[in-house]
A and B are shown apart, each in its own frame.
Chain A
Amino acid sequence: MGVLRRNLTAYGFLCAALFCFTVFAWYPMVREFVLSFQKTDLINPPEWVGLANFRGAVQDPAFWEAWLNTVEFTFLALLCGYAVPFVVALVLNELRHARAYLRFVVYLPVMLPPIVAVLLFRWFYDPGPGLFNQLLDLAGLPPLAWLDSSSTALISLVLVSTWMNMGSATLIYLAALQNIPSELYEAAELDGAGIFRRIRHVTIPQTRLILLLMLMLQIVATMQVFIEPYMLTGGGPENSTVTVAYLMYQFAFSQMNYGQAGALGMMLMLVLLVFAALQLRWTREDPA
C-alpha cells in the first residue's frame, strides 16, 4: 500500500472522530475564549465588549463567595472523599470475608443516576420527618437545619457528594493495594516494623502514584460541582452554597449573559489547568 493511500484510508477512518472533536470539543474551547470578550444573548448579533465580561463577573455580589465556597467544598470533599476511601480500602483489603458484598455495596451509589442520590438526600435532610433528624432524635441529639442553615448547607452538599462518589475511589485504591508485592510487607515485618510503620513505609510509597493521580482528578472533579447546589439549595441560604459552576449557570441561563458566563468559565479553566499542569509535573518526576 502506498503512503498516500495508507494516509487516505487512515483519515477516512478518522474523519468522523475528527468532526466530533473539532466541533464539540476543540472548537468550544476557542469559542469560550471568544465568548468571554463578547456580549451575546444568542438572539441579537454578538458585539465585542473587551474586558467588560470579566469586570462584570468579578463585580457580581456572589463572585468571591462562589470561589470561597468552591474551595471550601473541594477541601471538605477531599477530606471526606479522598482520605476516607483510602482508609476504607486499607481496611477492606485486610478483610477475608464478605469482600464481594462490601465492594458491591460501596459502588452501588456510583451506579445510580446522580439525580436519584440528590433527591433522596433532599428528603433525608427534611428538617421534620427527614431520616437524618429522626436518627439524631433517636440518639437524643438536637435536630439540625441541614440545607436550611448557611452554616450546615455546604457540608450537607459534601455529604451527598461523598456518598455518591466514594465507591469508585475506594475500588481504585483497593486494586492498587492488591498490587503491592507481599515480600515488602514480610521484609518490613522482619525489620520489626509495626502495623502503622508498615503502612507508612510500604503501603503509602507503593501507592504514591495512584494517590497523587486521584488527588488531582478529585480536585478537578469537585471544583466543578453543580448538580448538588442546583437541585438542593439553589445557591442559598444567603449564597452559602453558590459554587463557581453554579454561578456560571446562573449568568448564562438566568441572566442570559453568555459572555459573562464564558468569562467565568475561562477563569475556572485557568485554575484547573494549573492543577493539571502540577499533576503532570508531579507524576513525571516519579521514577516509576
Chain B
Amino acid sequence: MTSLAAARPKRGRARTPRPIHVQFRTIVSPHQLNSRWGRRIYWLVLAAVVVTFSLAFVLPLYWMVTGAMKTPEEVAQMPPTLVPAQPTLTPFFEAWELFDIGTLLANTVYYALGAWIFCMCVDVAAAYALSKLRPAFGNVILGAMLATLMIPPMVILIPLYVTIVDLGLLNNPWGLWFPAAANGFNIFLLKRFFDSIPRELIEAAQIDGAGPLRVLWSVVLPVSRPILGVVSIFTIVTAFKDFVLPLLVMTDSEKMTISVGLSQTAGAVTQNQVMGGLVIAAVPMIIVFFVFQRHIMAGLTAGSIKG
C-alpha cells in the first residue's frame, strides 16, 4: 500500500516531486525541464497536446464509427448525439449489401497482393542486377528509373491511361500491376540496401558454385529481410489506397476497388450506411498499421533521408 501511494505524484504539496525522466537531450535542457515552473509548463503542454491530438485525429474516427451505429434519423438529428442512443450494427450489414463490399474488398485485396508479388519479383531482380551484376549502361538505366520519380503521377495519368487503353488492359488487373512495378523508389531502396551487402559474402557463394539466381535466393534475399519488409508493406498499402488509376482502369462494377466503389455509390445511400462502408474500408489498413507499425515508421524515415 505504501509503495503505491509513494509512486503517485502528489500535486503541489510534495516536497520532492518525481523528476521527469530525460533519456536524450533536446531543445529544453533537463535542468530547465525539472525546475519548478518547467515541470508545470511541461505537464500543461503535454495535456494540451494529448487533448488536441485526440480531438483532431481520434474524434473524427470515433464519429465515423458511431455514425455507422446510429439510425438515419439520429444521424440527421441536430444537435447530434455523442453516443448512439441505440447502437446497432445493421448499417454495416446494409452497407455491405448496398455497396457489394464483399466483391469490392476481394477485388482490392487481389489487386494489392498481385501488385505486391509482381512488384517484388520485378524490382528485386532489377535492383539485384543493377547492384551486383553491374551490366553495361547500368547507371544510365538506374538514372532513367530514378528520373521517373521527378514526374508526378498525376501529370502522366492521361497518356498512361491512353497507353493502357491501346494495350487493351482496361478492366484487367495487369493494367494496375504493370504501372505499379515501374516504381523507381522501390528500386532505389532495394539497390541501396543490396549495395551494402559485403562482396565477400557473395564471392564465397560463387566459389561454392552458386549461379546468379542462387546467390540472389540464398545469400542476398535472406540478409535483406528488413528492406524487403519495408518495401512490401509500402507496396501493399499504396496499392490498397490507390484511387485515381483504378478509377480509370477498373470501370466494371464487378471489378472496382473498394475506394472507387464507395465513391460511386456514396451519393445514393444514407449517411449511416456511407459511414458503415467507410469503416469497413478503413479497418484493413488500421489492422496493418497496428501490426506493422514499427516497420512502417522505420520505412518512412529510411526512404526520406537521403543516403
Q: Which A residues form the contact surface with B (CB < 8 A)?
A: 6-7, 9-14, 16-18, 20-21, 23-29, 31-32, 35, 40, 42, 90-98, 101-109, 111-116, 119-121, 123-124, 128-129, 131, 134, 137-138, 163, 168, 171-172, 175-178, 182, 185-186, 189, 195, 198-199, 202-203, 209-210, 213-214, 220-221, 223-224, 226-227, 231, 245, 248-249, 252-253, 258, 261-262, 265, 268-269, 272-273, 276, 283
Knowing A114-B259, A120-B64, A129-B75, the reply to whether A221 touches B152 (Cβ < 8 A) is: yes
Contact check, B24 vs A182: say whether CB atoms are below 8 A apart: yes
What separation, in Å, do the CA atoms of A59 and B239 have in the docked complex? 37
Supply 17 further A-B pairs (C-beta < 8 A) apart from A7-B136, A105-B58, A123-B275: A13-B216, A20-B178, A20-B182, A25-B151, A29-B151, A93-B27, A95-B42, A96-B20, A116-B278, A123-B67, A134-B79, A168-B300, A177-B26, A249-B157, A252-B158, A258-B162, A273-B150
**Neighbouring B residues of A93 by C-beta, 8 Å:** 26-27
* Contact B46–A95 (Cβ < 8 Å): yes
A-B contact pairs, 17 of them (CB 8 A): A6-B135, A10-B135, A17-B125, A17-B145, A20-B178, A25-B179, A95-B42, A95-B45, A111-B286, A113-B281, A114-B243, A123-B67, A172-B304, A186-B29, A224-B155, A227-B244, A269-B151
- Asked whether B159 lies within 8 Å of A17 as measured between CB atoms, the reply is no
CA distance A131 to B66 in the complex (A): 13
Q: Which of A10, A138, A189 has the most CB of B within 10 A?
A: A10
Task: Out of A31, A96, A113, name the residue touching B21 (CB < 8 Å).
Answer: A96
Within 8 A of A (CB), among B131-179: 133-136, 138, 141, 144-145, 148, 150-163, 165, 167, 178-179
B158 touches A258 (CB 8 A): yes
* Contact residues in A for B151 (Cβ distance below 8 Å): 25, 29, 269, 272-273
Interface on B for A, CB 8 Å cutoff? 20-29, 42, 45-46, 49-50, 53-54, 56-58, 60-61, 63-64, 67, 75-80, 121-123, 125-126, 128-130, 133-136, 138, 141, 144-145, 148, 150-163, 165, 167, 178-179, 181-182, 184, 187, 212, 216, 237, 240-241, 243-244, 248, 258-260, 262-263, 266, 271, 274-275, 278, 281-282, 285-286, 288-289, 293, 296-297, 300-301, 304-306
| Cross-chain contact B306 with A32 (CB below 8 angstroms) | no
Closest beta carbon of chain A to B208's beta carbon, Å: 15
Q: Which B residues are in CB contact (< 8 Å) with A210?
A: 304-305
**Closest CB in chain B relative to A176 CB, distance in Å:** 7
**Does more than half of chain B's interface fall in helix, strand or loop, or is it mixed?**
helix
Chain B neighbourhood of A106, CB < 8 A: 53, 57
For A32, what are the chain B residues with a Cβ–Cβ distance below 8 Å? 155-156, 158-159
Q: Which residues of A contact B157 (CB under 8 A)?
A: 248-249, 265
When distances are taken between beta carbons in the complex, the residues of chain A under 8 Å from B129 are 9-14
Q: A129-B80, A131-B80 are contacts. A14–B125 as well, Cβ < 8 Å?
A: yes
Q: Which residues of A contact B241 (CB under 8 A)?
A: 112-114
Q: Is the CB of B161 within 8 A of A252?
A: yes
Q: Report the Cα distance A128→B78, complex, angstroms.
A: 8
Kindly identify which residue among B27, B282, B297 contacts A185, using a CB–CB cutoff of 8 Å. B27
Cβ distance A276 to chain B, nearest Cβ, rounded Å: 5
Q: Is the CB of A26 within 8 A of B144?
A: yes
Whether B240 pairs with A113 at a CB distance below 8 angstroms is yes
- Measured between C-beta atoms, what is the minimum distance from B205 to chain A in Å? 13
Shortest B106–chain A CB gap in Å is 16
- Contact of B50 with A42 in the complex, beta carbons under 8 Å: no
The answer for the CA separation of A212 and B145 in the assembled complex, in Å, is 23
- Complex contacts, B53 vs chain A, CB 8 Å: 102, 105-106
A189 engages B163 (CB within 8 Å): no
With the chains together, A223 CA to B78 CA distance in Å? 37
Provide the residues of chain B in CB contact with A114, threshold 8 Å: 241, 243, 259
Q: Are A268 and B155 in contact (CB under 8 A)?
A: yes
Q: In the complex where A24-B179, A32-B158 touch, is A129 in contact with B289 (Cβ < 8 A)?
A: no
Q: Could you tell me the distance between the alpha carbons of A244 and B301 in the complex, rounded to whole angstroms?
A: 30
Tell me whether A265 and B57 are in contact in the complex, defined as CB-CB below 8 angstroms, given that A14-B130, A119-B262, A131-B63 are known contacts: no
CB pair A172 B179 closer than 8 Å: no
Contacts of A283 in B (CB 8 A): 306
A224 x B153 contact (CB < 8 A): yes
- Whose C-beta in chain A lies nearest to the C-beta of B21? A96
Which chain B residue has the least Cβ–Cβ distance from A283?
B306
**B29 proximity list for chain A (CB < 8 A):** 185-186, 189
B263 touches A17 (CB 8 A): no
Q: B160 touches which one: A18, A24, A102, A248 (CB < 8 A)? A: A24
Q: When A and B form their complex, which 3 residue pairs have the shortest distance between CB atoms, in order from nearest?
A: A182-B25, A17-B126, A10-B135
A140 to B166, CA, bound (A): 58
Give the shortest distance, in Å, between A280 (CB) and chain B (any CB).
Answer: 9
Q: Which residues of A contact B306 (CB under 8 A)?
A: 209, 213, 283
Q: Which of A29, A96, A224 meets B154, CB within 8 Å?
A: A224
User: Are A17 and B152 in touch, CB under 8 angstroms?
Assistant: no
**Chain A residues, Cβ within 8 Å of B64:** 116, 120
Distance in Å from the Cβ of B29 to the closest Cβ of chain A?
A: 6
In the complex, what distance in Å separates the CA atom of A172 from the CA atom of B304? 7
